[in-house]
Amino acid sequence: MDISNGSTRATRTLNNGAKMPLLGLGTWEARGEEAKLAVKYAIEKGYRLIDTASFYGNEHEVGAGIKESKTKRKEIFLTTKLWNSEHDNVKAALGASLSRLGLDYVDLYLIHWPVSKKRISTWKEFERLDSKKVRGIGVSNFTKRHLTELLKHAKIVPCVNQVEFHPYLYQKELLEFCTKNEIQLEAYSPLGRGAILRDRKIREIGENHSKTPAQIVLRWHLQHGVIPIPKTVRKERLEENASIFDFELSEAQMRSIDSLERSRHFVSDPEKYA
**Residue 54 Cβ vs ligand NAP, minimum distance, rounded to whole Å:** 12
The residue sitting closest to ligand NAP, measured at its beta carbon, is 26
Residues in a beta bridge with 219: none
Q: Is 237 left (phi over 0), alpha (psi -120 to 50) or beta?
A: alpha
For residue 239, give the nearest of 38, 1, 63, 105 by alpha carbon: 38
Q: Return all residues near 42 (Cβ < 8 A) that are at least 6 apart.
A: 25, 50, 65, 238
State which residue, 48 or 112, has the beta carbon closest to ligand NAP: 112
First vs last Cα of the chain: how many Å apart? 33
* Single-letter residue type at 120: I
**Residue 53 Cβ vs ligand NAP, minimum distance, rounded to whole Å:** 7
**Residue 48 Cβ vs ligand NAP, minimum distance, rounded to whole Å:** 15
State which residue, 14 or 202, has the beta carbon closest to ligand NAP: 202
Dist. CA 121–CA 18, nearest whole Å: 25
Answer yes or no: 47 catalytic. Answer: no
Annotated catalytic residue within 47, 56, 109, 273: 56
Binding-site ranges for ligand NAP (CB under 6 A): 26-28, 51, 112, 140-141, 162, 188-194, 197, 214, 229-234, 237, 240-241, 267
**Residue 195 Cβ vs ligand NAP, minimum distance, rounded to whole Å:** 8
Distances (CA, A) of 273 to 63, 116, 145: 31, 6, 11
* Single-letter residue type at 189: S
**Residue 39 Cβ vs ligand NAP, minimum distance, rounded to whole Å:** 11
Residues in a beta bridge with 78: 50
Query: At 12, which helix (H) or strand (E)?
Result: strand 11-13
**DSSP label of 23:** S
Catalytic (active-site) positions: 56
